[in-house]
Homo-oligomer: A and B are copies of this chain.
Amino acid sequence: MIDFIFQNPAKIIFGKSALSHLQTEAARFGKRVLLVTGGQSARRIGLYDEVMRILSDGGFTVFELSGIVPNPVLSRVYEGIALCRREKIDLVLALGGGSVIDTGKGIANGVPYDGDVWDFYAGIQVPKAAMPLGVLLTHAAAGSEMSYSSVITNENGRIKRGFNSITNVPTFSILNPEWTYTLPPYQTSCGGVDIMAHMMERYFTDVEHVELTDRMITAGIQTVMHNLPIALQSPDNYDARAEIMWAGALAHNTLLQTGRIGDWCSHKLSHELSAAYNLTHGAALAVLFPAWMKHVLKQNPKKIAQFATDVLAVDPALGTDTQIALEGIKRLEAAYRSYGMPTTLRDAGIVDPDIQALAQKALPEPDSAIGGYVKISRQDAIEIYRLAL
């Protein structure tokens, strides 16, 4: 176990009655709210109207920044910052999934900062403070409701960048599993795969003696794998939705990375795939994570084999670490497919992709490397993309 610092002050309000806390939580900061929203889904389920009614009943003045899209963009963050400053907003309230929350985080960090908020994403400045941010979560996937992270795309050059900071941790997050009942199955599955990936990126480490976190990650992934098929079969099964939603927050709140170094290569390679071919993040992960596993096990099968036995119940007596690992990958792919996810680029409708270009975007410097478990060069990335064909 390596030395670590862990702190996550987010207040999580979870369950069917969670929304009843909104007025009290919001009122702690003042009466002027910027509500950040996405497309139509929160309106369709009546949640938008309910939130507006609660805020109006509470005497709040609500300003809106709506229509935030997946892969949220910097110009909307700027717009929100200007609105907050002009209208002397007390609380940013993000109603939606990861894109809406990440936009809210950009705004909350940007308002008290004198310079350009992109400085944080570009890594040339570190935020010292942020405005209070509340979250109403409608999708179990990105984990932004409890995470240190915000990812924004700068339209100027289409650069997608993220930064990690405690100022990105929401002040409070309200999670009601019922709000995920009407998600299309494809989105439910993409969310589940994303949650699993957040845990797997942390599982695959070469740090030794990380037993507690190994076991807790196993607990988390097995919970998602047990409940995702139930949620797909019965979209309004509260218990399954609740397990997935809570797992989604815990997957990315940094608890599961305490004492260890994660990998994150699959995420990096997936981001390039999503950017180039407009493939949903979860689907891109379902395609690339098994390919990454197949590639790295040639160098270091140990933790892939442990994953196979611990998480996927492969018999440890099956054979060598490599044989056990391969059987594990087969089971993982079968699980992904059972969720309706692609596990190859072809499945995802991507035929003859420009692999050289993808690898070059992921590793712009010819001698650079990514990944904490096994160092991946540009040539390795090419082979991983090939394994995903």
Residues in chain A within 8 A of chain B (CB atoms):
1-18, 21, 208-209, 211-212, 215-216, 218-220, 222-223, 226-227, 239, 242-243, 246-247, 250, 255, 258-259
Contacts and interface: CB of A to CB of B under 8 A. Distances in A.
A10 B7 contact: yes
Chain copies in the assembly?
2
A7 B1 contact: no
A207 to B, nearest CB: 11
Given A1-B243, A218-B219, A243-B1, A250 B212 contact: yes
A226 B211 contact: yes
A215 B217 CA distance: 10
Contacts of A222: 215
Contacts of A5: 11-14, 21
B12 A242 contact: no
Closest 4 CB pairs of A and B: A3-B15, A215-B219, A9-B9, A209-B239
A114 to B, nearest CB: 23
User: Residue among A3, A9, A212 with the most chain B CB within 10 A?
Assistant: A212
A4 B16 CA distance: 10
A161 B246 CA distance: 33
A107 to B, nearest CB: 23
B223 A14 contact: no
Contacts of A17: 3
Contacts of A8: 8-9
Contacts of A239: 1, 208-209
Contact of A242 (B216, B250, B259): B259
29 contacts: A1-B239, A1-B242, A1-B243, A2-B15, A3-B14, A3-B16, A5-B12, A5-B14, A6-B11, A6-B12, A6-B14, A7-B11, A8-B8, A8-B9, A12-B258, A14-B258, A14-B259, A209-B239, A211-B243, A212-B219, A212-B220, A212-B223, A212-B250, A215-B220, A215-B223, A218-B219, A242-B259, A246-B258, A250-B255
A219 B218 CA distance: 8
A155 to B, nearest CB: 36
A10 B243 CA distance: 25
B7 A12 contact: yes
User: Residue among A1, A15, A220, A223 with the most chain B CB within 10 A?
Assistant: A1
A247 B212 contact: yes
Contacts of A218: 215, 219
A270 B272 CA distance: 58
A3 B85 CA distance: 36
A138 B220 CA distance: 30
Contacts of A243: 1, 209, 211-212
Contacts of A3: 14-18
